[in-house]
Structure 1
């Protein structure tokens, strides 16, 4: 039986398939896309009491740590890749090849990878990088073939798989707008069923990182003695705490603080970051409407991605006549759909090769 794996390597998080459940659904592992360059002099300050769940990867002679606990080894000079180098950067390749270790397979018949829409022109470059034999930590991993898709297509494929055969057949005739707010970019594709309309698809650098940067500027004014608040700290206020943000050991109401902390104690702190959020999310939707239009011919709007809740109001305001469908398991839907699409792609490839 063929071994198929999928890897969604995003700016914010990395999701990958580690195996298959009894019902045929993929097992998904997700961890932050944080890459820490290893300092040999500080490689084990914990003296082995608590080993980190990470993978050590050698890229061009430098060692990097990626994985579930990679943030514990990072400092301000390390972190996520948010630049145009992307595929060619050491950090991206550390995440890419380090993820092979978590996949639990040394022979992979097909690896499915995703790219942001604006990086789609680099698909062949990515395939050339991946196909072949790679050594990670003294162990060899052989990738026999690679299929690359744009990331929002993964969410669309996942939704199609969850919809059932009758609904899927109906989807083939629908014009679908798939929206993917990632950490680095806001991506969107317009398609007829699963056939993408390139002229009405695109992406802009207005993902969650832009939201966090916008919020950080407001908080810097509210906390002038602390300098810049780390974006990871602000990010936690969105996805972990929901109603508060932790700064300097104290909890403050979020997104609005009017002179009281979460315990009700008076503080000389005032901020309202709602406009900082909506300025970015609204701009992302304006970019979408400039290419897609106001939606008169759109039958279905799908929203996916970890930050989907942050962008949901802007989507509703941009397309008030539509019912917005949030895909099942929005954080991992893209990776799940990539896997299901890979099954179909591999079967079609094998059939084509047999016929030839």
Structure 2
């Protein structure tokens, strides 16, 4: 019987996870790292109103997570931006939401990511928390036999080596992987697939800081508090201007300028 191996990276901005594999192809998906708490499980919706979310029970609360979580959004987006993120119920809800969406009742090895600076501090506790049986909502459970926590940038190195068929030769190479995330800016120096610890680290600055700075500039511009970081993020990714007070706001001045030829 083939072992089932999956990976989840619960970032501050998005939760990324492996859906499945087909030959050498690895299929992935993601959803926003937002978990909305409620005192009861989400009610059943009609087919026309159904959203792609799941209510995860954590303690005495239920946390709704998933690709359509924006449909339950309120005016406040509670985001966990601190070093104890992996110890929060929101983190566990997001991870279990990803497990639910994988549609596997048993996972032999679950790989999870940590910022470089927190790897040795949080690795053992996170692996222990991930191992065992998880209630993933809707009366379903997922059993994780073994968990492995790695530095977040290391996944990019493993993917590169696999895609370019360098697994056999990368042991003699030194690599630098840079990972600008939502909360942390990580860099990892590796010899082969092994981390060079004293040359690798992470810094608590990321895209969330950029979004807040842009929001502050928009606030000055319009003369009213503006905090819709998701709209700014979408505009930067797609080029589509955000609508503020029923008017399209020109965000191009915050976009990277093309180099003159």
- TM-score, normalization: structure 1? 0.66
Q: Which runs of 5+ in 1 are unaligned?
A: 257-272, 275-309, 314-356
Verify the 8 A CA contact 1:82 1:184 in the aligned structure 2: yes
Aligned residue-pair number: 255
What does residue 317 of structure 1 align with? none
Greater percentage in helix: 1
In the alignment, structure 1 residue 219 sits paired with structure 2 residue 218: yes
Deviation (angstroms), 1:46: 7.2
Q: 1:44 to 1:78 in 2, by over 3 A?
A: farther
Instruction: Report the Cα distance in structure 1 between the residues aligned to 2:78 and 2:112, rounded to whole angstroms.
Output: 21
TM-score normalised by the chain length of structure 2: 0.89
The offset of 1:78, in angstroms, is 4.0
Shift of 1:83: 2.2
Counterpart position of 2:185: 186
Inter-partner Cα distance in structure 1 for 2:145 and 2:44: 39
Could you say which residue in structure 2 is the equivalent of 1:131? 131
In the TM superposition, what whole-angstrom CA distance separates every residue of 1:26-58 from its partner, at most 9, and x where no partner exists? 2211111111113659x5697663111001101
Structure 1 residue matching 2:65: 3-state secondary structure? strand
2:198 is paired with a residue whose SS is: strand
1:1-356 to 2 correspondence within 5 Å? 1-21=2-22, 23-38=23-38, 49-120=48-119, 121-137=121-137, 138-165=139-166, 168-224=167-223, 226-241=224-239, 244-256=241-253, 273=254
Tell whether the 8 Å contact from 1:18 to 1:102 is kept in structure 2 after alignment.
yes
Residues in 1 aligned to 2:165 and 2:63: alpha-carbon distance in whole angstroms: 42
Higher CA-based Rg: 1
Alignment gaps of 5+ in structure 2: none
Displacement after TM superposition at 1:239 (Å): 0.9
CA distance in 2, matches of 1:102, 1:160: 27
Instruction: Name the CA shift for 1:144/1:79 in 2 (closer, same or farther; >3 Å).
Output: same
CA root-mean-square deviation: 2.4
Cα contact 1:185–1:205 (8 A) shared by 2: yes
Q: Which has the higher contact order (CA 8 A, sep 6+)?
A: 1
